[in-house]
Amino acid sequence: MRMTACLALIPALIAASAAVAAPRDQYPGDYAGECRTDKAQCALEVSMPNKAKEYKVQYVVADRFDFGKKLCVLDGVARKDPSGRFLRGTFKQSGMPFDIFPARGGQIEMQAAVPTPCDQLGRINGLYDPVGD
């Protein structure tokens, strides 16, 4: 009798655990992109959304050997577009718009209005690879 009661609970537990597990947000993380020069490294950092469902986005051009030496930084805020298929935002310093799209293999693609203040060293538009810690 106890075994039958336990077996009856298994489908309910499986359904409950599936309902609790939400899909992983594909945008938050650190990403590496290509720069215009081999003297710099370019990165895109996307934070988890806040309660207002806004993502903080930071584009960084840093010294090739020392990421702490930031040569140019653009801070932005983005939200998912109404379809939920990409992020749309603006950079705080310039008000320039940008879009971030999911790409293959965990990559993201940045499309921003150019020129940006970082264009001499960086190349903001293009694919960014995820960077693991």
Read off the pLDDT of residues 14-41 as tens digits, 9 standing for 90 and up.
554 444 555 678 899 999 999 988 899 9
Yes or no: say if 113 and 100 are a contact pair by the CB < 8 Å rule: no
13 φ/ψ angles, rounded to the nearest 5 degrees: -65, -40
Return d(Cα 37, Cα 17) in angstroms, integer.
49
How far are the Cα atoms of 30, 35, 37, 106, 110 from residue 51, in angstroms, in the given order? 21, 33, 38, 24, 24
Global pTM value = 0.79
Yes or no: say if 11 and 17 are a contact pair by the CB < 8 Å rule: no
How many CB atoms neighbour CB 21 within 10 A? 8
- Tokens at residue 93, please? 């310093």
Q: How confident is the model over 73-93, as pLDDT tens digits?
A: 999 999 999 998 999 999 998
Confidence class of residue 120 from pLDDT cuts 50, 70 and 90?
A: confident
In this prediction, residue 26 carries a pLDDT of 85
**115 preceded by a cis bond (ω within 30 of 0):** yes
In this prediction, residue 22 carries a pLDDT of 56
Yes or no: say if 51 and 97 are a contact pair by the CB < 8 Å rule: no
Percent of the chain with pLDDT over 70: 82
Task: Scan for tokens 């060293």, then name that residue.
Answer: 121
How far are the Cα atoms of 43, 52, 100 from residue 115, in angstroms, in the given order? 17, 29, 17
In this prediction, residue 18 carries a pLDDT of 47
In this prediction, residue 112 carries a pLDDT of 94
In this prediction, residue 93 carries a pLDDT of 86
Fold for the domain defined by 25-130: Lipocalin (2.40.128)
